[in-house]
Amino acid sequence: MSRTCVFFHAHPDDEALLTGGTMARLAQEGHRVVLVVATAGELGLSARQTDLGAVRTREAHASARVLGCARVEFLGYRDSGLEGRRRHGFARADVGEAAERLAELLHEERADLLTTYDPNGGYGHPDHVQVHRVGTLAAELAGTPRVWEATVDRTRLLRGLRLARLIRRFDLTPFEKTYTAHHEITHSVDVRQYAHVKRAAMAAHATQTTGGESTRTLAALLKLPPPLFRLILGTEWYVERKRLRA
């Protein structure tokens, strides 16, 4: 039986990194996959300084085509920036108003599933935290029966980072409270078969591979050999905290 699954993200490229494999798998299995993005990511770090929002919007559409999305919608909020200080950014938007807009789409699509983020917003980006707030309320308003919080297994992440420190020293402290502890994970989705699709979706976000003083995460992941890429990014994690009645 075909289902409609709505993936709610803060910025272009979030969909490919956190949920790209799941989206590709669901689309390949015959389900309707809808991508909703809160902002155009115009304040994202990038070597490109002009029209970044417009370019990233096009990148999101390209990524969505690779993943097999049936629909892409932008809520039109402004990127808040990493510190969330932008006065009219998504992080400071009225939660109820934003949730009503998303709930309207959920109702229109008769969504069976909505994905948001964990309460931490993953690594704490204010727009990601807002996705959690808005998505949770929107699902309640629309009566969407299942809500999955896209996250990363913190236990596994820290294990991998400790190994990486054998090559280059860095502070692990910022990662110790990010994402979600292993015992809270309710769903681990095997997406190894769709790793090449996830990789292509990530590559569509070219603006996010450059800029800044250090190597960007997206660029580093895209340089991994395919077998290692599948090993590291072949599982996607979610937390389903409760079921709602439709």
pLDDT digit string, tens, across residues 1-47: 899 999 999 999 999 999 999 999 999 999 999 999 999 999 887 76
Average pLDDT (95-105) is 98
Task: Region of 13 please: left (phi>0), alpha (psi -120 to 50) or beta.
Answer: left
Per-residue pLDDT reduced to its tens digit, 108-135: 999 999 999 999 999 999 999 999 999 9
CA distances from 240 to 121, 185, 202 (A): 15, 8, 25
Q: How far apart are CA 197 and CA 28, in angstroms?
A: 11
Please say whether the beta carbons of 42 and 74 come within 8 A.
no
Tokens coding 84: 């969330």
Global pTM value: 0.93
- Residue 179, C-beta contacts closer than 8 angstroms, at least 6 positions apart: 118, 120, 122, 123, 151, 152, 153, 154, 157
Identify the pLDDT of residue 44: 82
State the Cα angle at 106 between 101 and 91, rounded to 5°: 40
Confidence of residue 212 (pLDDT cuts 50, 70, 90): low
Dump pLDDT digits (tens) for 52-64.
999 999 999 999 9
